[in-house]
């Protein structure tokens, strides 16, 4: 079998090659603008790295990358080495080369950033590869779905009528009345596409002990959602009288028929039901919405609140995995507050 070599470089100066290799081996192409956003180095973080598989002619035939993102572990800010863009030419798959690449990355992390935990939310193929190279599963991602208009959903599935042509049915009205129970007087919801200074104060005050969660400072939120190319996110804020009680990042997809809740954070656990109920009520008023969806890690403390509102568990949709150098330990009892928003994709 031909010999392959593994090398590591920075991202600047290799943008075109990285984009070419990544797009050649993935079902959906990424734009140069999106790649620039993905590889942006956040303030204070180590610079991104690209790991290459090269053949005997020095041509790149595979790659993976690491970008560094701020996380908080039991109240301490750390940088996780987030693995992504794992790409290998189709004719080389199943030959152990992908595993060798990940082992090469492990060695780099051990030597260059021994205090950093490796983190990845891979696709199914990547999940097996990184697991074979010693990356540990920290939990599964679980999809929850709440039906809002069963008649519209049934007709859409049957192809009888466009969802836009169907008026809100009786079921949606019942849902709205039910959800009103969870939004006490004094609470109000607002959708916007901007962040203000209050988000920074909210994050500073948020209790971070005993949890693992990605940084939700205003700067991180702005980069992850508002700076993302072609973003279609809305910021839903729940206020109690004059104070911010929580927020969620949502987007309306499938012709505004589905409300995807990508991220959320509340001041106290009892606000979860209030925030989600208020969001869905607002969506019923504004959009021809059929259902709401949310993906949470199976160790996320908010998942326990979903069933009260009628969210149904629809199954798992991948894992989140970590690589821990000897110097990195995390209490197994900590809650991992992982959402769909943690994935840089």
Query: Residue 181 pLDDT > 70, yes or no?
Result: yes
- Residues 209, 295, single domain; the answer is yes
pTM for the whole structure:
0.91
Of 30-44, 121-135, 149-163, the range with the lowest mean pLDDT is: 149-163
Assign 270 to helix, strand or coil. coil
Q: pLDDT tens digits, residue range 298-344?
A: 999 999 999 999 999 999 999 999 999 877 889 999 999 999 999 97
- Residues 127, 147, single domain; the answer is no
- Residues 197, 164, single domain; the answer is yes
Is 298 exposed, middle or buried, given 0-12, 13-18 or 19+ CB atoms closer than 10 A?
Answer: middle
- Residues 67, 189, single domain; the answer is no
CA-wise closest residue to 75 among 176, 186, 211: 211
Supply the pLDDT for residue 166: 46
- Residues 223, 193, single domain; the answer is yes
- Residues 153, 284, single domain; the answer is yes
323, 135 in Cβ contact below 8 A? yes
- Residues 264, 225, single domain; the answer is yes
8: DSSP letter? E
- Work out the mean pLDDT of the chain and round it to a whole number: 91
SS (H, E, C) 84-152: EEEEECHHHCCCCHHHHHHHHHHHHHHHHCCCCCEEECCCHHHHHHHHHCCCEEEEEEEEEEEECCHHH
- Residues 240, 312, single domain; the answer is yes
- Residues 304, 193, single domain; the answer is yes
Query: Residue 164 pLDDT > 50, yes or no?
Result: no
What CATH number did the domain enclosing 208 receive?
Answer: 3.40.630.30
Instruction: Give the total number of structural domains in the chain.
Output: 2
User: In the block, which residue shows the tokens 């790991």?
Assistant: 51
H helices of 133-260, where? 150-158, 170-180, 197-205, 218-221
Backbone angles phi, psi at 250, to 5 degrees: -130, 165
Average pLDDT over residues 79-91: 94
Note down the domain range covering 205.
142-317+325-342
User: 116, 134, 152 — which closes off a domain?
Assistant: 134
- Residues 165, 185, single domain; the answer is yes
- Residues 203, 267, single domain; the answer is yes
User: 81, 115, 134 — which closes off a domain?
Assistant: 134
User: 134, 154, 177 — which closes off a domain?
Assistant: 134
- Residues 32, 157, single domain; the answer is no
């Amino acid at each position: 079998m031909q010999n392959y070599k593994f090398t590591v470089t920075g991202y600047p100066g290799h943008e075109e090659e990285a984009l070419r290799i990544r797009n050649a081996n993935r079902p959906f192409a990424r734009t140069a603008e999106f790649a620039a956003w993905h590889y942006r180095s956040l303030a204070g973080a180590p610079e991104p790295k690209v790991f290459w598989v090269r053949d005997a002619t020095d041509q790149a035939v595979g790659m993976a990358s690491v970008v560094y993102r701020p996380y908080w572990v039991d109240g301490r800010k750390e940088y996780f080495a987030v693995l992504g863009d794992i790409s290998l030419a189709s004719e080389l798959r199943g030959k152990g080369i992908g595993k060798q690449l990940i082992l090469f990355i492990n060695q780099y992390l051990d030597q260059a950033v021994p205090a950093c935990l490796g983190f990845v939310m891979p696709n199914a193929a990547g999940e097996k590869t990184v697991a074979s190279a010693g990356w540990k599963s920290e939990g599964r991602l679980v999809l929850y779905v709440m039906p809002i208009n069963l008649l519209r959903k049934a007709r859409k599935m049957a192809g009888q009528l466009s969802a836009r042509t169907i008026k809100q049915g009786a079921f949606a009205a019942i849902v709205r009345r039910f959800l009103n129970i969870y939004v006490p007087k004094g609470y109000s919801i607002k959708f916007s596409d901007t962040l203000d200074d209050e988000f920074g104060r909210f994050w500073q005050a948020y209790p971070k002990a005993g949890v693992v969660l990605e940084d939700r400072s205003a700067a991180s939120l702005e980069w992850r959602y508002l700076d993302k190319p072609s973003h279609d996110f809305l910021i839903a804020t729940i206020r109690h009288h004059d104070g911010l009680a929580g927020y969620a990042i949502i987007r309306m997809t499938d012709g505004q028929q589905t409300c995807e809740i990508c991220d959320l954070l509340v001041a106290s656990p009892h606000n979860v039901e209030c925030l989600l109920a208020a969001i869905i009520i607002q969506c019923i008023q504004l959009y021809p919405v059929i259902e709401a969806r949310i993906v949470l890690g199976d160790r996320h403390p908010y998942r326990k609140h979903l069933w009260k509102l009628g969210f149904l568990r629809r199954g798992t949709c991948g894992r989140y995995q970590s690589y821990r150098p000897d110097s990195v330990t995390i209490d197994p009892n900590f809650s991992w507050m992982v959402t769909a928003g943690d994935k840089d994709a």
